[in-house]
Every structure is written in C-alpha cells, then in structure tokens.
Structure 1
C-alpha cells in the first residue's frame, strides 16, 4: 500500500474477505468440555492452539454468546477432545444448541473434565485467564494432562470436514 492510498475498507467487505481467507486455513476440530453443576457441557471449536511449552499452555477461542463460556471461570477444568476423522457426527452434535449433547456419546471424567471415550487427542486444562477479544473470549489454560492416538484427525477446511493424510 502506498502513502497515497487513503481508501478506507468497507467493514462488510473486510469481514467477508477475512472469512474467506480463514476458510482457506485447515483447522483441527475439537469438542471443548467442562463439568459444571453436576453435568457435562461441551461445544465444537476449531479455534485452539498450543501457546507455550514451558510451561505447557493452550488457548481456546469461544464465542462470547457460548453457553460453555458462561460456565467457565479461572480455575475451572476443561478438556479439549480433538476429534478423529470419522467423528463428523460428534462435531455436528456439539456444534448445535441442544441440551443433551452427550446423549449416545460415550465419555468419562478424566483429569477433571469430560473426556470423550473416542478421540484423536486429549488435553486437560485448568483455566488460567479469560481474555475478551472482539466477539470471542480467549481461554488461556495450563495443561494438566495430554495424550494422543494414531488415528487421523478431523479437519475443517472451506466449510467442509475432511482429514489429513501423510504424504
């Protein structure tokens, strides 16, 4: 952009082009969970990332209107269940607004959070900080436990589910 370029980008155009750009980034799909008031709660997310190796930390981004976010406080335990390639139905179930998302989805409490019995990877966190950022809140978590399987991951790219295969 030159110094003479004073054009202002239309916010609606910017939002559309940003959405298209992010749609071109493949992301792993996970179900983030917590146990609150005697019941499991969860939501599908694709916006999560490792943050630090020393100490081990992870971040998860949740919509500010998320019912899951409303149940989280600093010190709460959450689980990040990274889904396996064949778990598209689980991703869709937890992306919905239904009350009993765990119906017919085997799980158990593990490391203080609901862990799906079947998954590609697992990370248990203690919420360290909640940071409001635009229309989402970034959940910063201290890693308490982690494991992985040899299955292929479920990914989301250009508004469709898929997976990654080694080349």
Structure 2
C-alpha cells in the first residue's frame, strides 16, 4: 500500500466540503491584529450545546492564537468569495487582511458578506496527525442570504439542489 497517501488524497478530493475562513485576534477583547486562514475541514458537531469543529495545521500561527486566546471565528464563505478563500489560504499572518473589509464581532474578525458567521470559545483541542481539531462552543451565530462556497475535485463551486429534492 505504498500508494495509500495518494489514494487517500484522491478520495478526499472527491468529497465536497464547505469553505470557511477561521479567524482570531492577536490580543484579547478585540484589541490587536486580525489573523485568519482558509479551511475546508469544518463541520457541525452538536446542537445541544451548539458546537463545531475545525481542523488547523499544527504549525500554523492561527492555531497558536487559538490556543492563547481560547476563541475563534468561523466565516462560512459564499459562492462569490473564492478570491477571499485563495487570499486566506496563503502564508502571511495579518497581511491577508490587507485590502479586505472586516469588522469586529464578539471580539473576533468577521468578514462581512459571508453567508454564515459563528463566534466560538474553545471547548478542547484534539491532536490529529499533522493537524489539531479545535472543538468550539458556539457563543454567537448569524446568517445572510447567499449560496455556499464549496471545494470539490480541487476546484471551487457551489451547491445546487436536485429537482427531486425540492
């Protein structure tokens, strides 16, 4: 099974995932500099209490901030925000916010126009290979109208309902 990593990568490329930008502030109470990174490993975990999970690279600056502050924001991107997804997928800390409209919501950086917003307190951090899974207790949630941005077969897209499911 020497080709297992490549086979695994191919299987995971075939799984459509939501695209989100996870954010945190370098200081507390909304003071400091904003940081963010694009993730496709984000999911709902629990309704009672409301919880989500996100997977963050073990070596990322954002993970260090999430550890330090115990908080993170989830900006669930919309179908018109693929440029934001690409910008936040690069290395670069706070420079990712250059030229990007953002605001503070519950002490965390929020990207206006994203169809989904969650402010979370870290419930726990779980090691998982080269990533760490952050389990977040949702303390605030908001939505705006818009189609989701998805990632499938290594390209961005969006969801379309099948006629039979309407």
TM-score by length of 2: 0.90
Q: Partner of 2:20 in structure 1?
A: 30
- How far off its partner does 1:36 sit? 1.1
CA RMSD of aligned residues (A): 1.2
- How far off its partner does 1:149 sit? 2.0
Q: Secondary structure at the match of 1:101?
A: helix
Q: 1:46 aligns with which of 17, 37, 40?
A: 40
Q: Partner of 1:110 in structure 2?
A: 105
List aligned pairs for 1:113-132, cutoff 5 A: 113-132=108-127
Structure with bigger gyration radius:
1
List aligned pairs for 1:87-106, cutoff 5 A: 87-99=81-93, 100-106=95-101
Q: Runs in 1 of length 4+ with deviation above 3 angstroms?
A: none
Q: Distance in 1 between matches of 2:69 and 2:58?
A: 19
More strand per residue: 1
Q: Partner of 1:57 in structure 2?
A: 51
- How far off its partner does 1:74 sit? 6.7
| Unpaired segments ≥5 residues, structure 1 | 1-8
Instruction: Report if aligned partners of 1:130, 1:139 keep a CA contact under 8 Å in 2.
Output: yes
Q: Distance in 1 between matches of 2:68 and 2:128?
A: 17
